[in-house]
Amino acid sequence: MTVIKWNVRAGAYYDSVVLMQLQRGLLGLPGVVDAGAVMATPANRDLLAANNLLPESITANPDDLLIVIKANDDASAEAAIGQVDDLLTKRKSSNSPNSLEFRPRSLSAAVKQLPEANWVLVSVPGRYAAGVAREALDLGKHVFLYSDNVLLEDEIALKKIAREKGLLVMGPDCGTALINGIGLGFANRVRRGSIGVVGASGTGTQAVTAQIHNLGAGISHAIGTGGRDLKSDVGAITAHQALDVLARDDETRVIVLISKPPSPEVATQLISAAQTTGKPVVIYFIGYPPPARKIGNLKFAISLSEAAELSIREVENSRILQSSNSRFVRGLFSGGTLAYETMIGLQAFLSPLFSNSPITHSQNLEDPLHSKFHTIIDLGDEFFMVGRLHPMIDNDLRIRRMKQEAADAEVGMILFDVVLGEGSHVNPAGELAPVIKEIRGKRIGESKSRGGRVAPNDFGGAYRDHNLDGDLEFVAMVIGTDDDPQNLQLQVSQLEEAGVTVFRTAAEAVEYISLRFSASKQNDFTPVNLEQLKQPLAAINVGLESFYDSLLSQGAQAVHVEWRPPAGGNEKLAALLQKMRK
Amino acid sequence: MTVIKWNVRAGAYYDSVVLMQLQRGLLGLPGVVDAGAVMATPANRDLLAANNLLPESITANPDDLLIVIKANDDASAEAAIGQVDDLLTKRKSSNSPNSLEFRPRSLSAAVKQLPEANWVLVSVPGRYAAGVAREALDLGKHVFLYSDNVLLEDEIALKKIAREKGLLVMGPDCGTALINGIGLGFANRVRRGSIGVVGASGTGTQAVTAQIHNLGAGISHAIGTGGRDLKSDVGAITAHQALDVLARDDETRVIVLISKPPSPEVATQLISAAQTTGKPVVIYFIGYPPPARKIGNLKFAISLSEAAELSIREVENSRILQSSNSRFVRGLFSGGTLAYETMIGLQAFLSPLFSNSPITHSQNLEDPLHSKFHTIIDLGDEFFMVGRLHPMIDNDLRIRRMKQEAADAEVGMILFDVVLGEGSHVNPAGELAPVIKEIRGKRIGESKSRGGRVAPNDFGGAYRDHNLDGDLEFVAMVIGTDDDPQNLQLQVSQLEEAGVTVFRTAAEAVEYISLRFSASKQNDFTPVNLEQLKQPLAAINVGLESFYDSLLSQGAQAVHVEWRPPAGGNEKLAALLQKMRK
């Protein structure tokens, strides 16, 4: 038979290392069977209950420290409770050889002690973290924000300030970073090399950087963003800054971008930004169907280990040139799956994208008869099919829709499929090609009468007749075999003669379109100073002392702040002090 | 200035080929600028309006035929309207050399004419299609159901009947199939070969089969299912039948399975079924994040063209042996992304799966402190982190949870990660391994005292000490480098000595687990007669005559039914006739 005793200490701050040591100290006492020492939050109370350490009669507030002892007898339990003060006041022994040196008690004092420090590591409890991070930004320092339980609005505010100043806020809840060979927070020891990482996922970044090392290559910098950076509210501020600075870093030859699934708009923007880096970028959006294996300079991975492998293979890849096109794509498909697969590819870089066969709800085209922005129409959808032959047999609907789309001056490309084989129209290209010729003739005429300029493209000034300003480009994917009754070669040649760019798979067509519609680079932020990343790392640590120890063991210069929360963690007193200062 | 005239014909059935020919006939008349001939459904009215062919004053019911003429003058428009009857009664000229032969007017008459026909192609309008399909099933025939706009409840009813009888219902809205070298509906001409296809997507199947041909290989059979087959309401009845019959077909050495994203339960069941085929199966769930590149005998593609390429590469692959395990997996992770990536893999073959960091809403574990079924816990989630050190630093929470999970006899495997590097615990395996040893000792003891048998596994009767009945298997993924401060080799060896199976990436761990937890084969349906697939194809066609022509041109035996809807398409009269028959 065991007994349980407990002790509640009203609202005060305790470091989580201190709590762990208190619990371990209590467990080591004679007669003690189990012990808990936690802040009495609902989650922690549930955890105690799960370990049979929470008698119903305990009342405590979330800010209170709750100590529970399960012992063999009353005397042992009482004795353990009696030890709590001693255990709490006993300074934990530091592993640091520098523990006897002077330690500043504020960030500003630490900066005076180590003015070359460009980085501040913050791992204090969440409710204090935003304040410390803001102070660091005010002092002109980059912030590695390990703390979790930071409010989303604080994250947004901090990142906006940082973006203005050309500073990085890595986090909150950022587990890892590697800057110039030094690991911040949790970080595997990896050799330096030419692969840069932008990671919205801490262990994801660790797994990838560790494997890059294990496969013989190395890391230039790995910049963490925190898991919420890619949510639409935050808009991937840090990820955009990180992509930009790694794009400018000559030591970084390949970039890996890792994140849990971002919101579709954020994904499109990030992919655009990745395209404009001019470097191979390996993207792994965990749980997001990859739009393709490869789109221009982008490669899409489907696992952490594959991201590592691909990045190493890409190190030798060269710079990719791109042209751009700001008008809209309209896809008119007879094959539902071809339409769908094409959308999966296009949604990575065209936004907003709509369809009568949408992937996500936000892509739903309410009126299938009228396109808007980029649109993919499945003309074989049931909506179009009552009393009507399938568009693989009857081209009438598609021809009418082609003319309708072509009448919209905002449309820059019409994309369509031609599915050959048994059962299909005997000569689809024979019906479509003349219409396309007619449309293109009309468009070019209109463009000339408006005095439309004929623009050289980005491929060294060469002209391509279907890339002209004002012109409308036609792209087709032809699905068929040499044995099909329609004569595959004849179908392709009729389309090509009408000026259509022809592909044989959806994947190839998608890659082509990505190059025609890639975004041009437009930064709306102050660039991060690349030179600061290249300097020997010097940092100030506020919070977990183990992070400070690890900086020193890696040979970095560092100062640890003996941080205590305002008013000793007493929230009421802190609020009063704050008021008095104003 | 043009004029518009129109004509409405009350509720009667018109073949969509007839309507297309009527429209084309009208467009060819003198003075006619544009014309429409459609059933007056809302969708078709909108289409007319989009082509400026719908004056506001027209009233017509969805069952009515609406004919609209836009002409240069009144006289031309009137003349065109006057031609409608002639154009409608003019029999379309058949391309078929057999057009003069006797044609049955009912399915049963057709069966008498061609008793060897095992297949019925149905492409009549949706509202009549279920009736024809049911008649075909009653006659013991497989159904290729091209028609769309068939009710979901009719699909389910038809497929349940078919499953009882060992017959296939391919469709509704099934565009393509290849049976024994003959294309049904829309089909590319491809050579015969050793790759079988199960396709819930028509153009997807066409694109894959065409590319397999273009790459030099060939198709045994391609079985369509219709796009809704993989919805949870239908439960992939046809896809399961198709996988089963292709598994039994010796000519089929590799199977390709293509579908739009299925519901998670259906996906898990289909993947299980694919595992038990004992053949390499290439799966492409369009828009579904692939769980891995490879899981046992399964390969996952991310595009149609990749599905084709992978299937050809797999032709040489051999049969795979599997063991099975019916208990639950519990994952206890310190790394959120490792947990997430593991879930993406596991959800393909473990169901139901829960997590405090779920991928889909249905996987949400309400109480993170108590697992159920298969569960993956992210112990670094904010919920666990108030006033507590991260599980990469402090193993206490994980050790307690391991013991909790081990106390559940339903748990067959505990999976966890160990993330090494700067900032992490100095010797995590040193704390975890003794606990694991203790747990395993206790479990084996309990099993022996219950008289638990020691079962040989499927690998030739060899015993593996951590696969014993009643035993609890531990699997770890260790993330780290040779240079990490914890000594990677020491961490791995401590775990292995405690009986833990150790992997270095999540992908490898997932593949291992898939083999340990693969389902055993249990068919709950009458198998489809494989010999019927291997006979020279003979079919009865009800609906689009072009499908009949295409069967003949491929050398198949076929009979075309001169089908007309009951009571000439007059629904009231049809209902009356139906009543009188009862």
In angstroms, the CA B195 to CA B172 distance is 24
Q: Do B479 and A417 touch (CB under 8 A)?
A: no
In angstroms, the CA A374 to CA B332 distance is 44
Q: Do A210 and B421 touch (CB under 8 A)?
A: yes
For the ranges A171-180, A476-485, A563-572, B79-88, the lowest mean pLDDT is seen at A563-572
* Strands lying side by side in the sheet with B328-333: B353-355, B374-378, B328-333, B411-419, B473-479, B500-503
In angstroms, the CA B582 to CA B574 distance is 13
B331-346 burial, b if ≥16 CB within 10 A, otherwise e?
Answer: bbbbbbbbbbbbbbbb
Cβ(A144)–Cβ(A224) under 8 Å? yes
Residue B311 pairs in a beta bridge with none
DSSP state of A274: H
Closest partner CB to B421 (pick from A44, A186, A504): A186
In angstroms, the CA A65 to CA A77 distance is 17
Q: What is the pLDDT of residues A193-230, one digit of tens each?
A: 999 999 999 889 999 999 999 999 999 999 999 999 99
In angstroms, the CA B273 to CA A59 distance is 54
Most confident of A415-429, A449-463, B468-482: A415-429
In angstroms, the CA B167 to CA B189 distance is 25
Distance from CA of B473 to the nearest CA of A (A): 23
Closest partner CB to B46 (pick from A38, A289, A369): A369
> pLDDT value at position B310?
95
Cis preceding-peptide flag for B115 (omega within 30 of 0): no
Q: What is the pLDDT of residues A22-56, one digit of tens each?
A: 998 999 999 999 999 988 888 888 889 888 898 87
Q: Do A20 and B396 touch (CB under 8 A)?
A: yes
CA A364 to chain centre: 25
Q: Which residues of B touch A185 (CB under 8 A)?
A: 422-423
> pLDDT value at position B463?
29
Q: Do B507 and A304 touch (CB under 8 A)?
A: yes
Residues 6 or more apart in contact with residue A429 via CB below 8 angstroms: A418, A486, A490, A491, A492, A494, A495
Q: Do A38 and B203 touch (CB under 8 A)?
A: no
Residues 6 or more apart in contact with residue B452 via CB below 8 angstroms: B468, B469, B470
Residues 6 or more apart in contact with residue B580 via CB below 8 angstroms: none
Residue A542 pairs in a beta bridge with A122, A561
Residues 6 or more apart in contact with residue B361 via CB below 8 angstroms: none
Cβ(A198)–Cβ(B329) under 8 Å? no
Q: Do A369 and B50 touch (CB under 8 A)?
A: yes
pLDDT tier, A272 (very low <50, low <70, confident <90, very high otherwise): confident
How many percent of chain A have pLDDT more than 90? 60
> pLDDT value at position B555?
92
Distance from CA of A280 to the nearest CA of B (A): 20
Q: Do B202 and A337 touch (CB under 8 A)?
A: yes
The tokens for B361 are 């809403």
> pLDDT value at position A445?
73
> pLDDT value at position A112?
94
Q: DSSP assignment of B106-140, as one string?
A: SHHHHHHH-TT--EEEE-S-HHHHHHHHHHHHHTT
Average pLDDT over residues A354-371: 91
In angstroms, the CA B339 to CA B517 distance is 18
Q: Which residues of B touch A504 (CB under 8 A)?
A: 211, 214
Q: What is the pLDDT of residues A128-159, one digit of tens each?
A: 999 999 999 999 999 999 999 899 999 999 99
Q: Do B287 and A344 touch (CB under 8 A)?
A: yes
CA A230 to chain centre: 5
The tokens for A509 are 């067509």
Q: What is the ipTM of this complex?
A: 0.77
Cβ(A322)–Cβ(A458) under 8 Å? yes
In angstroms, the CA B133 to CA B93 distance is 27
Q: Do A423 and B334 touch (CB under 8 A)?
A: no
For B501-504, the CB contacts below 8 A with 24+ separation are: B501/B466, B501/B473, B501/B474, B501/B475, B501/B476, B502/B475, B502/B476, B502/B477, B502/B478, B503/B475, B503/B476, B503/B477, B503/B478, B504/A211, B504/A214, B504/B477, B504/B478, B504/B479
In angstroms, the CA A482 to CA B190 distance is 9
In angstroms, the CA A217 to CA A206 distance is 14
- Residue numbers of chain B with a pLDDT score lower than 50: 93-99, 318-323, 451-469
CA atoms within 13 Å, Cβ hemisphere of B450: 13
The tokens for B279 are 């053949």
Q: Do A396 and B23 touch (CB under 8 A)?
A: yes
* Phi–psi pair at A256, nearest 5 degrees: -110, 130
* Phi–psi pair at A415, nearest 5 degrees: -115, 135
pLDDT tier, A59 (very low <50, low <70, confident <90, very high otherwise): confident
> pLDDT value at position A522?
64
* Strands lying side by side in the sheet with B298-300: B182-185, B176-179, B219-224, B192-199, B254-259, B281-285, B298-300, B294-295
Cβ(B381)–Cβ(A31) under 8 Å? no
> pLDDT value at position A30?
93
In angstroms, the CA A505 to CA A503 distance is 6
Q: What is the pLDDT of residues A288-330, one digit of tens each?
A: 888 888 888 899 999 999 999 999 998 866 444 444 566 899 9
Given 3-state DSSP classes, what are the helix, strand and coil percentages for chain A, each rounded to the nearest 5? Answer: 40, 20, 40
Residues 6 or more apart in contact with residue B5 via CB below 8 angstroms: B68, B69, B71, B74, B77, B78, B80, B81
Q: Do A422 and B41 touch (CB under 8 A)?
A: no
* Among the listed residues B144, B148, B106, B108, the one whose alpha carbon sits nearest the alpha carbon of residue B16: B148
DSSP state of A422: B
Nearest CA in chain B to A543: B389
Determine the residue among B52, B206, B355 to mutate to test chain A binding: the one whose Cβ has the most chain A Cβ atoms within 10 Å: B206
Q: Which residues of B touch A422 (CB under 8 A)?
A: 183, 185-189, 550, 553-554
Nearest CA in chain B to A343: B287
* Phi–psi pair at A156, nearest 5 degrees: -65, -45
The tokens for B504 are 């270095």
- The residue ranges of DSSP E strands in A382-438, in sequence order, are 411-419
Distance from CA of A194 to the nearest CA of B (A): 18
> In this complex, how many residue pairs, one in chain A and one in chain B, have their CB atoms less than 8 Å apart?
341
Q: What is the pLDDT of residues A81-116, one digit of tens each?
A: 999 988 887 755 444 444 456 789 999 999 999 999
Q: Which residues of B touch A61 (CB under 8 A)?
A: none
> pLDDT value at position B464?
33
**Does the pLDDT value for residue A515 go beyond 90?**
no
Q: Do B507 and A173 touch (CB under 8 A)?
A: no
> pLDDT value at position A307?
95
The tokens for B471 are 């035993």
Cβ(B35)–Cβ(B80) under 8 Å? yes
> pLDDT value at position B515?
81
Cβ(B357)–Cβ(A224) under 8 Å? no
**Does the pLDDT value for residue A265 go beyond 70?**
yes
* Among the listed residues A178, A182, A112, the one whose alpha carbon sits nearest the alpha carbon of residue A536: A182
